[in-house]
Structure 1
Amino acid sequence: MKVIIALAALVAVALAAPQRDADAVVVRYDSDNIGVDGYNYAYDTSNGISAQENGQVINAGTDNEAIAARGQFTYTGPDGVQYSVSYTADENGFQPVGAHIPS
């Protein structure tokens, strides 16, 4: 259940990014594994957005059970610059890394 909630939240964030093309469509979607122990997905859209993520349950069956995810996404901003972000999301929070993100 937690995996589905995390996946839905991450897809919502990706879809909330401003689109330059209101008619953009998904041109590639891969999902190798979505189950109770983990998941893996990737997609590309016709307007240049791409993303991939994999995650797994850590500390299963304990009070510290959580989902640990790693991924990346790329998009072209309104300024025409291509932005890339890599991230981890786990019990320590969401930790993005990108050339445009202050450290």
Structure 2
Amino acid sequence: MVKVVIVTLLVIISVVVSGAPQQSAKEPVPIISQESDIQPDGTFKWSFETGDGTKAEQSGQPKQIEQETPVIVQGSASWTDNEGNQHQLTYTADENGYQPQSPDIPVAPEIPAAIQRALEYNAAHPEQDKEQ
């Protein structure tokens, strides 16, 4: 579970960095605000906002799950891409995995009605799936 949290953090950081507008080397983007709080019990919270409008925040707390105590993480990020489009992402990483939510995440198309009926028929008649 700790690996999931680490991978999640790396994914979020790469999304924010890759989606942020690219500045020339001569124009650094100022940090408008930045906070970080890490407690001895493993609870943490951090956030930042930059001069170009990029924002990110994340918090986490340990949670006992059977024999392990992973850190459950919640967070969000928002930025403007090079074309001026706004992007927002919220996420949770817990015992159910990484769960991002964003209007930018593609949504699968609906299953066509004929295929849906066939799937329902197959589920209702499993005996026909047996090899003869």
Shorter-chain TM band: 0.7 to 0.9
Match of 1:54 in 2: 59
TM-score (norm 2): 0.61
Q: Which is greater in Rg?
A: 2
Output the amino acid matched with 2:101.
V
Aligned residues: 98
Structure-2 change in CA distance of 1:66 and 1:82 (3 Å)? same
Q: Extract unaligned runs of 5+ from structure 1.
A: none
CA distance in 1, matches of 2:88, 2:50: 15
**Bigger proportion of residues as helix:** 2
Instruction: Assess if the C-alpha contact under 8 Å between 1:21 and 1:47 holds in 2.
Output: no
Query: Identity of paired residues, percent?
Result: 22
Instruction: Assess if the C-alpha contact under 8 Å between 2:57 and 2:77 holds in 1.
Output: yes
CA distance in 2, matches of 1:96, 1:11: 10
Cα-to-partner distance string for 1:6-39 (whole Å, 9 max, x where unaligned): 49747743445443324112110122x3123301
**Bigger proportion of residues as strand:** 1
Root mean square deviation of aligned Cα: 2.6
Match of 1:63 in 2: 67
Instruction: Assess if the C-alpha contact under 8 Å between 2:77 and 2:90 holds in 1.
Output: yes
TM-score (norm 1): 0.75
